[in-house]
A and B are shown apart, each in its own frame.
Chain A
Amino acid sequence: MDSALIPEGVKRCSFGKFIFWIIVVGAVLLWGVFAMLLCWFKGLNQTNMNDAYGFAVWIWADLAVIALGGGAFFTGLLRYIFGKDELKNIINYAVLIGFICYSSALLILAIDIGQPLRGWFIFWHANVHSMLTEVAFCLSCYFAVLTIEYIPLILENRQVDKVPFFHNLSHNMHGIMAIFAATGAFLSFFHQGSLGGVAGVLFGRPFAYREGVFIWPWTFFLFTWSAAACGPCFTIFITWITEKITRKKLVKKNVIMLLAKIAGWMLATYTIAKIIDTWYWAAVTVPSKGFTLMDFYSNNPLYGIWILVLEIVICGVVPSIILITKKGRESSFLLISAVFLGALGACVNRWVMVLQVMAVPVMTFESWPMYFPSWQEIATTILPVAYGIILIMISYRYLPIFPQEREIEQIG
C-alpha cells in the first residue's frame, strides 16, 4: 500500500502490521497526552511534588534524556570535525535518537513549567545570572540544530527526493552540515555542562556542591563528559534493539566497534575523573561543611550507599573495562551489557544529582523525605518514550536511516 514511499532495495513489514503496532504504541501515547492535559488544565497539584521535591521525576527524566541524546552531538563532532568517516553509517540514527531525546526534554519542560504559554518568558525576560537560562538557550538552539540535521533525512524520502528543490536543499544542507555540527557541539558543551553546574553551585546543599574553575564547578565538566561517553552507548544500545526487532543487521560491525571503542575511552576517563571528584568531595569538601560521607546516604530504599557503588563501579568501571578491551567489544553479550550499563550510569548519575540532592537533610531537625511520582507524572514521563518509538518506526520505514542496510541485505 505504501511501497512507493519505502526506500528502494530494502524490505519492510506489511502495512497492516505496521499500523497495528502504531496503534498499540499510540494508545500509550494517548494515555500520556491525557495526563499532560490534566497537568495543564488542573495544574501541578496533579503531581506528587512538594516543598522538598521542587525538582522531581520530570527533571530527572529531562536530564537523563538530554545525557542519552548526547550521542548526536558527539557522533556529529567525531564525524564532521574529527573526520571519523566510518561513523557516517550511524550518524543518521544518532541524529534521530538525539532529535527524539531533545524534543522529549522540551516537551517534559513544557509540562513542568505549568504555564507553557509563558515558556517564551525565559528568552525575553531572561535571568542572566542563572545557569538554567543558559540551559534553556542552548537546549532550544541545539534542538533547532538537530531539526536541521534531521530535515535532510526527510527530504531523502523516495518521493520527496523527486522534487528538484527538495533534492537540492538536502544536498546543500549536507554540504554545510559541518557548520551545524560544530555549532551543535558548542551548544551541547554548554547546556550539558550548565545542567551539572546547576547542582554544583548549590552551596546550601553540600551533597551537590563542588569547587571548580572560575564560575564553573567540576560538575559542569563531568556532565558534559558523561554525556559524550554515555550518549554513544545509548545510540549503540538502541541500534541493537532495532536490529533485534527488525531481525536484520543494519550497521556493519566495524562501525559499532569504532563507536564503542571511543565511547569506552570516554567512559573510562570520565569514570576516573568522577572517582577523583567523589574522593575529593568526600575527603575535603564534605568535612569542611561539617558533614561526613555517610550523612548523605541512608538506609531507605532510594538513597542507600548502594547507589554510589551502582553509579561508579557497576555502571562506570565495569563497562569501561569491557569497552576499552578488544575482547570485551567483540563479545556481543559483553558489548551490549556494557553499553546498557553505560547508559544506565548516566541515568543513575542524573537521579542522584536531582533527587538525592533534594532528599538529603541539611538541617538538624530535618529527616529524609521520600517521594513517589503520581500516575500523571509517570504517564507523562512514558509519553516521550511512546513518541520516540513511533518516530523511530515511521523514520525507519520511510527514510534511509541506515545507509548500509541495502548492502548488508544483499550480502546476507
Chain B
Amino acid sequence: MLPFSFEWIWDLSHMVFMGGLWYALTIIGLGMTYCIIKAAVDTCKGKGGHCGH
C-alpha cells in the first residue's frame, strides 16, 4: 500500500507499518542494485578471472 492508495490514512499505524516495509525493501533493493552495478563495472574493467577469491 502506498500513500496514494484510497485505503491510505495518515496515522501512526500506517506510517510505522508501511514505512517499515518500504524501508526494509529499499535497503534490500539498493544493496542488490549496488552489487549488480559494481559487478558489471568490475567485469567491464576485466576483473574476476577464473581463479577463486
Contacts and interface: CB of A to CB of B under 8 A. Distances in A.
Interface string B32-48: 10111011101100111
Contacts of B38: 168, 172
Interface residues of B, number: 31
A137 B16 CA distance: 12
A141 B35 contact: no
Contacts of A183: 24, 27-28
Given A168-B39, A169-B35, A172-B35, A128 B17 contact: yes
User: Residue among A148, A169, A179 with the most chain B CB within 10 A?
Assistant: A169
B48 A141 contact: no
A162 B47 CA distance: 12
A154 B1 CA distance: 33
Given A125-B7, A164-B43, A169-B35, A179 B18 contact: no
B40 to A, nearest CB: 7
A165 B41 CA distance: 9
A141 B36 contact: no
A126 B17 contact: yes
A134 interface: yes
Interface string B14-32: 1011101100110110011
B28 A144 contact: yes
Given A128-B14, A128-B18, A134-B17, A171 B53 contact: yes
Contact of B40 (A124, A165, A173): A165
Interface in A321-358: none
Interface of A: 123-126, 128-129, 133-134, 137-138, 141, 144-145, 148, 161-162, 164-169, 171-176, 179-180, 183, 186-187
Interface of A is mostly: helix
Given A137-B17, A167-B48, 4 more contacts: A124-B1, A164-B49, A168-B43, A174-B53
B28 A145 contact: yes
Closest 9 A/B residue pairs (Cβ): A164-B48, A169-B39, A168-B39, A128-B13, A167-B48, A168-B42, A172-B35, A168-B48, A128-B17
Contacts of B18: 126, 128
A173 B7 contact: no
B31 to A, nearest CB: 6
Contacts of A134: 17, 20
A186 B16 CA distance: 15
Contact of B31 (A133, A141, A179): A179
Contact of B52 (A161, A173, A176): A161
Given A165-B48, A168-B47, A172-B39, A141 B1 contact: no
Nearest to A176: B31
B34 A176 contact: yes
